Structures are given as C-alpha cells and as structure tokens.
C-alpha cells in the first residue's frame, strides 16, 4: 500500500470545510484550546463513544456511570491533584513566549536527534527522565543552552509549577471556602462512587466502572489541533481487582484496548506501545497506546495499574470505608485498580488522520483527477449512505426520496441532487460515506438501485426492497 504524506493543516482545513470541527467562538477570534464539533463532527464523536460504550459495558462485569463535573474539593486533595497536578512552566523574557519546560526540552532533544547528535540527545534525555522539581528542568535548559524557538535567546525566567485545574466558585460568595474545580479527569468520579456501584449493581470483584465525560485542564501550551486542548472528553474505565492479580488484568486490558482500535480500522503500523519508564509513585505498571499523527507519535490512551492508591486515599480523606468484603473467602481488602483512560477528542483526530487518503482516479471526462477519501470503518462513518437520484426528473427524485425517508428511520443518511453524479460521489468520499445509492433509469423498470462502495468504488445492483437489510448488515 502506498503511504501518502499529509500535514496536520490538511486535516484541520478538511475538518473545517466539511463541518467536522470549528474553532470555538470563531467570530470573536477564537478561544485557545477549545473547539466546537460541527454536524459531521458530532456524528463521528458519537460513533466513537458508542463503539467504546458497547465494547466496554456490554459485558457482565462492567457497569456505567455519569458523575458530575463539579465534585467536592476534598476529592482533589485525596487524588493528589491539588498538590501534584502541575506542569513546569517557563517564560522567555525576550519573546514573552511561555512553554512547558519538559516539552521545550523534549523538542530540543528531537532536534538534536534530527541533526544526528545522538549522544547529546541521549544525555539530555537521561537528565530529563530524572527531573522532578522545577529547578531540575531549569538546570537542564541552562546547562544545554536550550534556546527559545521564537527569539533564539536563552533569556529564561526560573521554572515554576503551574496547577492545571480550572477553578471556579460554587454559590454566590467568591471566597476560598467556595472554590470548586472543573474535573481534570473523569476517573475520580468513578472512585468516589465505587461503593455505590458495588452495592447497587451487586457486582463482585473483579468488576469495572466505565464513564465518558468532559474533562478540563488549563494546559500551558495547547497544540496540534485537538491533541492538547483545555476542554476535552475522556472515556475511562476503572477495573477493580484483588491485590496480586493486577498484572494478569493489566495484560488483559492492554490486549483488549489494542484490539479495539484495530477492529475500528486503525492501521497496525500507525499504532505502537510506549512503556512508561518513569512510573507515577502509585503505579506499578503503565503503558500508552500511541498513534502516528502527521506531527509524530502521540498518546491516545493510557493503561495503568494504579494499585489501591485512589481508593485508599479516598478512604483516608473521607473517613468512609472503601473495602471489599469477600464473603466466600472471608477476606477484606481495598481493591487494586487497572485503568484504561482514552481521550475521545484525541481518538477523533487519530481516526480522522487514519482514514485520510488521496488517490488518482479516472474522472467523468476520461482524464484523471485527485480523489480525497476518508476511509472510516463503517460503524464510525458520520453518514452511512447517500441517496442520489441520477437526474431530477422521470420520477427518480420521488423514488429516491421514499428510499431516503425509509433508511433515515434506521441510520444517518444524506439526500443529494445537486451536480454531476461524479461530483456527488467525490463529496461523499471526502466525508467518508461508505455507500452511495443511485436511482437511475433501470430503477424505473425493475426496482433495482446501484450501491457504490466508497473504497473500491465498485457498484452492484440490488433490489430496493432489500436495500435496508443489505446496509444494516454492514454497520454492525
């Protein structure tokens, strides 16, 4: 297969042009790190979330949850977010640009690698892996004279820690006792509800709780379109297991999550594992699934073995028992947790990049032309089928509209009568519609329609009465 190269700008402009994603508050100049999903974007987003929900909760041992975005502020003390959830921030005095110090160093390492200065790159990387405190990052930047990409100077302020949680106030009085945070992850809503779900759903360990919802982080630098944003959605699942069995379940969930991306059409060569060398103090195993975006590999999902850190801390901070009582074996323990934590918007961008393709095809006038096509898996495609009467006369629009109205009861379809049939196919290819249904002269004679498949562009004729079942089978 030929690998086509494209830039992130290609994806961003297609996303805007075809109504997948718009800049937030665009008419006011936009709001950094926030994006709006347009008519096709919401469909794709919903299809990703539905596929995940089905995959995770259509099981005996996983329950769903939808916890509130605003949570008791003690939650974030217990989870460590108030004290630990910060990024090292540095400013360049000349350009006034602001960076995450670790990202600045990482980009510099990348540059050194590109210049074949491998030894230097490795040396800086080792120092970065050991860096913990703001001063450690600052020392690396000064020692290796890492310049500001904008001004080229090394005129740096000290590195400061910057907490990423958005603060707001609950109720009318804006004082410290009224501070609440917009949740930076959905996971804590699951932990604080562990007992509620356990008791009401009558589950036994091992079992999991899944949730999809918004999360907010006041990122220092937003970048790369939907990759790092300030408002985003997560799809997270916490799987509660008996201590000692966590490695077995960690391996199980690694495989499950990898297979999910594959089944949804992610190209094998576009995915890779990243094993964490620097583990969070509470984690005993952690890996990320990375996707190759046009700007390089980036994390789309993390699978973490978090021990009993979260439940134990919530027990301590709330004074409420988080133990599991195994009455069969007469044991009590705080369960260990395997977490699968994916970003909906990051996956959205990964699926969009993964689907993007360009190829030369024969056009109506016999010459060749470029075809842009989004090769989405059928379940993810925003529009499942387009209904296209060949001409706007001879009763074809009436038949087409009847078919359209009937299909619309079962899935998202479009009706398009404008322009030459070739152009209409191209429009659907560019938004990833897997099937185009054409109503033509022969339909009037024998009630058959053509079904054109997006990727192969092959056409078959089938009886209009069988069309819906034929398509439904393709979308399972």
Binding footprint of ligand GAP on the chain (CB under 6 A) = 185, 187, 217, 219, 228-229, 232, 234, 236, 299-302, 339, 341-343, 345-346
Q: Which is nearer to ligand GAP, 254 or 412 (CB)?
A: 254
In the complex with ligand GAP, the residue whose CB is nearer, 301 or 416, is 301
Give the C-alpha separation, 123 to 109, whole Å: 9
The CB-of-453 to ligand GAP minimum distance in angstroms stands at: 32
Q: Are 173 and 193 in contact (CB under 8 A)?
A: no
Nearest approach in angstroms of CB 234 to ligand GAP is 5
Q: How far apart are CA 67 and CA 193, in angstroms?
A: 8
The two tokens of residue 124 are 């800086």
* Pick 340 or 438: Cβ nearer ligand GAP: 340
Tokens of 361: 């095809």
**3-state SS, residue 292:** strand
139/299 with CB nearer ligand GAP: 299
Minimum distance from residue 125 beta carbon to ligand GAP (Å)? 20
**Residue with smaller CB distance to ligand GAP, 240 or 425:** 240
CB of 245 to ligand GAP, least distance (A): 21
Q: Which is nearer to ligand GAP, 221 or 372 (CB)?
A: 221
Q: Is 1 exposed, middle or buried (0-12, 13-18, 19+ CB in 10 A)?
A: exposed
Rounded to whole angstroms, how far apart are CA atoms 355 and 377?
Answer: 8
**Nearer of residues 238 and 315 to ligand GAP, judged by Cβ:** 238
Return the DSSP state at 177: G
CA 343/CA 349 separation, integer angstroms: 10
Shortest distance (Å) from residue 339 CB to ligand GAP: 6
Residue 176's CB: how many other CB atoms inside 10 A? 7
Only one residue has tokens 């060749």, namely: 368
In a 3-state reduction of DSSP, which class is residue 196? helix
Q: Which of 374, 392, 391, 396 is nearest to 383 (CA)?
A: 374
- Closest distance between ligand GAP and the C-beta of residue 185, in Å? 4
Query: Which residue's CB is nearer to ligand GAP, number 203 or number 341?
Result: 341
Which lies closer to ligand GAP via its Cβ, residue 63 or residue 236?
Answer: 236
Q: Which of 224, 225, 266 is nearest to 16 (CA)?
A: 225
At closest approach, how far in Å is the CB of 135 from ligand GAP?
24
Nearest distance, CB of residue 7 and ligand GAP, angstroms: 20
Rounded distance between C-alpha atoms, residue 241 and residue 207, angstroms: 7
- Compute the Cα dihedral for 310, 316, 320, 326 and give only its sign: positive
Residue nearest to ligand GAP (CB): 343
For the CB of residue 216, give the shortest distance to ligand GAP in the complex, in Å.
9
Residue number, 239 or 404, with CB nearest to ligand GAP? 239
**Rg, C-alpha atoms of the chain:** 26
Residue 242 CA to residue 176 CA, distance in Å, equals 39
Q: Which residues of 188-208 are buried (b: 16+ CB within 10 A; e: fewer)?
A: bbbbbbbbebbeeeebebbbb
């Amino acid at each position: 297969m030929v690998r086509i190269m494209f830039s992130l700008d290609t994806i961003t402009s297609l996303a805007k042009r075809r109504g997948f994603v718009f800049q937030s508050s665009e008419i006011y100049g936009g709001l950094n790190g926030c994006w709006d999903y347009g008519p096709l974007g919401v469909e794709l987003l919903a299809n990703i979330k539905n596929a995940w929900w089905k995959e995770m909760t259509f099981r005996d041992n996983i329950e769903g949850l939808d916890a509130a975005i605003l949570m008791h502020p003690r939650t974030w003390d217990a989870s460590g977010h108030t004290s630990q959830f910060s990024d090292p921030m540095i400013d360049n005095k000349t350009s006034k640009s602001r960076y995450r110090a670790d990202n600045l160093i990482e980009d510099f390492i990348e540059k050194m690698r590109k210049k074949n200065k491998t030894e230097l790159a490795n040396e800086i990387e080792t120092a970065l892996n050991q860096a913990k405190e703001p001063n450690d990052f600052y020392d690396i930047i000064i020692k290796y004279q890492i310049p500001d990409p904008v001004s080229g100077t090394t005129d740096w302020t000290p590195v400061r820690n910057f907490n990423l949680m958005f603060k707001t106030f609950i109720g009318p009085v804006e004082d410290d006792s009224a501070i609440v945070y917009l949740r930076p992850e959905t996971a804590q809503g699951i932990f604080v509800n562990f007992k509620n779900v356990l008791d009401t759903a009558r589950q036994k360990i091992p079992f999991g709780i899944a949730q999809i919802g918004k999360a907010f982080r006041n990122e220092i630098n937003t970048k790369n379109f939907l990759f790092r944003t300030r408002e985003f959605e997560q799809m997270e699942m916490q799987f509660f297991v008996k201590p000692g069995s966590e490695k077995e379940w960690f391996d199980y969930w690694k495989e499950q999550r990898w297979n999910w991306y594959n089944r949804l059409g992610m190209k094998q060569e576009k995915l890779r594992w990243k094993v964490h060398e620097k583990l969070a103090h509470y984690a005993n195993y952690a890996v990320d699934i990375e996707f190759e975006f046009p700007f390089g590999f980036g994390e789309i999902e993390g699978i973490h073995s978090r021990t009993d850190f979260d439940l134990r801390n919530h027990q301590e901070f709330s004074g409420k028992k988080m133990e599991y009582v195994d009455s069969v074996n007469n044991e009590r323990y705080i369960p260990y947790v395997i977490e699968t934590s994916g970003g909906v918007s990051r996956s959205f961008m990964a699926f969009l990049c993964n689907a993007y393709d360009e190829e030369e095809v024969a056009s109506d006038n016999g010459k060749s032309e470029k075809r842009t096509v989004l090769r989405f898996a059928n379940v993810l495609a925003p529009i499942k089928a387009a209904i296209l009467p060949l001409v706007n006369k001879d009763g074809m629009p009436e038949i087409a509209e009847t078919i359209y109205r009937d299909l619309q009861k079962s899935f998202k379809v479009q009706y398009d009568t404008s322009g030459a049939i070739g152009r209409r196919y191209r429009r659907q290819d560019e938004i990833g519609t897997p099937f185009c249904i054409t109503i033509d002269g022969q339909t009037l004679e024998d009630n058959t329609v053509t079904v054109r498949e997006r990727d192969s562009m092959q056409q078959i004729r089938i009886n209009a009465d069988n069309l819906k079942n034929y398509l439904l089978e393709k979308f399972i």
